[in-house]
């Protein structure tokens, strides 16, 4: 039986988040420069997006560039930004064909102007697509996002719009850049690293984490299927006991 047919389509995670890691190591293994790894990571992005949409996943969030990644050599940062612009431009047709809506989270205004412009165009062109939403996390860090949310709520409290007594977890969720997007139920990280690296800290409170040694440029549809099958074989207890869940 192939992997895809082992997936229970009625129990799909509505939102999958992916930390795409290992491009540099993939390139090094081949004796190439790191940028070669990033270029080859685009195929994996395409495959995973297509596979998720075909299955019926509603949201796919890809961690493409963290706030901390600015600390990499300028040459690599520039290559990543150029790749971003080129990829969005090239992939718009496919996104339209597959009815995928593009969105982005992160400190987008601080992206290089060309990348920001291309991104906004892509978001605008695809805004009416309703099959799946592809969220790119760009210049994103969860601590930046939470800090911004705190500022926003504190300002509202100061001006009397919000009563601090009435602040709930929902108030915080709504002040995050992911407002309106359901929390990820499954988070995947490739390349064997088992850390979160400042990604969606608030939103993954109850996500199932899946780590695979596969390096991102090698990640294909079957790797996504494996992660979903693993997700479907877990018992999500949300603090309750196993017996309580069985009894419903
Ligand atoms: C992930 O691959 C891509 C980005 C962070 C942009 P890396 O570039 O981190 O690859 P490794 O971890 O060095 O192998
Ligand atoms: C996380 O990968 C960021 C992205 C995938 C965009 P990193 O490679 O930057 O993470 P660390 O530095 O190994 O934690
Ligand atoms: Mg890395």
Which residues line the pocket of ligand 2, CB cutoff 6 A?
19-21, 63-66, 69, 193, 195, 197
User: Which ligand 1 atom is the nearest neighbour of the CA of 193?
Assistant: 12
- The pLDDT tens digits along the chain (248 residues) read 799 999 999 999 999 999 999 999 999 999 999 999 999 999 999 999 999 999 999 999 999 999 999 999 999 999 999 999 999 999 999 999 999 999 999 999 999 999 999 999 999 999 999 999 999 999 999 999 999 999 999 999 999 999 999 999 999 999 999 999 999 999 999 999 999 999 999 999 999 999 999 999 999 999 999 999 999 999 999 999 999 998 76
**Three-point CA angle 238, 240, 241, nearest 5°:** 130
Task: Classify residue 189: in a domain, yes or no.
Answer: yes
| CA–CA distance, 53 with 221 (Å, rounded to integer) | 11
Task: Classify residue 153: in a domain, yes or no.
Answer: no
- When divided into structural domains, the chain yields a total of 1
Best residue for ligand 2 mutational test, from 21, 67, 80 (most atoms within 8 Å of Cβ): 21
DSSP string, 169-204: HHHHHHHSTTTTSPPPSEEEE-TT----TTSSTTTT
The predicted structure's pLDDT at residue 246: 81
Tokens of 213: 């040694």
Tokens of 35: 């940028």
Report the candidate in 20, 17, 5 with the shortest Cα–Cα distance to residue 207. 17
Distance from residue 190's CA to the centre of ligand 1 (Å): 10
CB 139 within 8 A of CB 111: yes
Task: Classify residue 3: in a domain, yes or no.
Answer: no
Residue 82, ligand 1, Cβ within 6 A: no
The domain that holds 210 is classified in CATH as 3.40.1180.10
Distance from residue 134's CA to the centre of ligand 1 (Å): 20
Report helix, strand or coil for 135. Answer: strand
CB 44 within 8 A of CB 220: yes
Residue 139, ligand 1, Cβ within 6 A: no
Task: Classify residue 148: in a domain, yes or no.
Answer: no
Enclosing H/E stretch for 136: strand 132-140
User: Which ligand 2 atom is the nearest neighbour of the CA of 195?
Assistant: 14
Task: Classify residue 194: in a domain, yes or no.
Answer: yes
CB 119 within 8 A of CB 86: no
Tokens of 8: 């229970």
Residue 24, ligand 1, Cβ within 6 A: yes
Task: Classify residue 2: in a domain, yes or no.
Answer: no
Task: Classify residue 97: in a domain, yes or no.
Answer: yes
Task: Classify residue 1: in a domain, yes or no.
Answer: no
Catalytic, 21? Answer yes
| CA–CA distance, 12 with 2 (Å, rounded to integer) | 17
Range of 134's domain?
11-142+183-234
CA distances from 122 to 86, 93, 94, 106, 203 (A): 11, 10, 12, 16, 25
Residue 20, ligand 1, Cβ within 6 A: yes
The predicted structure's pLDDT at residue 248: 62
Active-site annotation holder among 69, 98, 107, 198: 69
Catalytic, 166? Answer no
Ligand 3 is an ion; its neighbours by CB within 5 Å are 21
């Amino acid at each position: 039986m192939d992997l895809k047919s082992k997936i229970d389509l009625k129990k799909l995670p509505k939102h999958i988040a992916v930390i795409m890691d290992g491009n540099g190591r993939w390139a090094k293994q081949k004796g190439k420069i790191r940028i070669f790894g990033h270029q080859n990571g685009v195929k994996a992005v395409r495959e995973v997006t297509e596979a998720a949409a075909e299955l019926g996943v509603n949201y796919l969030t890809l961690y493409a560039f963290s706030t901390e990644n600015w600390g990499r050599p300028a040459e690599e940062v520039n290559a990543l930004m150029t790749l971003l612009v080129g990829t969005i431009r090239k992939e718009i047709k496919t996104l339209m064909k597959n009815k995928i809506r593009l969105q982005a989270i992160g400190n987008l205004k601080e992206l290089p102007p060309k990348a920001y412009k291309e991104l906004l165009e892509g978001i605008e062109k695809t805004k009416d697509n309703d099959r799946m939403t592809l969220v790119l996390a760009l210049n994103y860090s969860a601590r930046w996002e939470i800090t911004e949310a705190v500022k926003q709520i504190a300002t509202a409290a100061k001006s009397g719009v919000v009563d601090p007594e009435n602040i709930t977890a929902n108030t915080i969720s709504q002040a995050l850049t992911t407002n309106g997007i359901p929390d990820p139920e499954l988070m995947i990280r490739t390349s064997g690293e088992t850390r979160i690296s400042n990604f969606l800290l608030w939103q993954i409170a109850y996500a199932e984490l899946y780590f695979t040694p596969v390096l991102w440029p090698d990640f294909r549809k079957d790797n996504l299927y494996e992660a979903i099958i693993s997700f479907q074989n877990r018992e999500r207890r949300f603090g309750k006991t196993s017996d309580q869940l069985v009894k419903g």
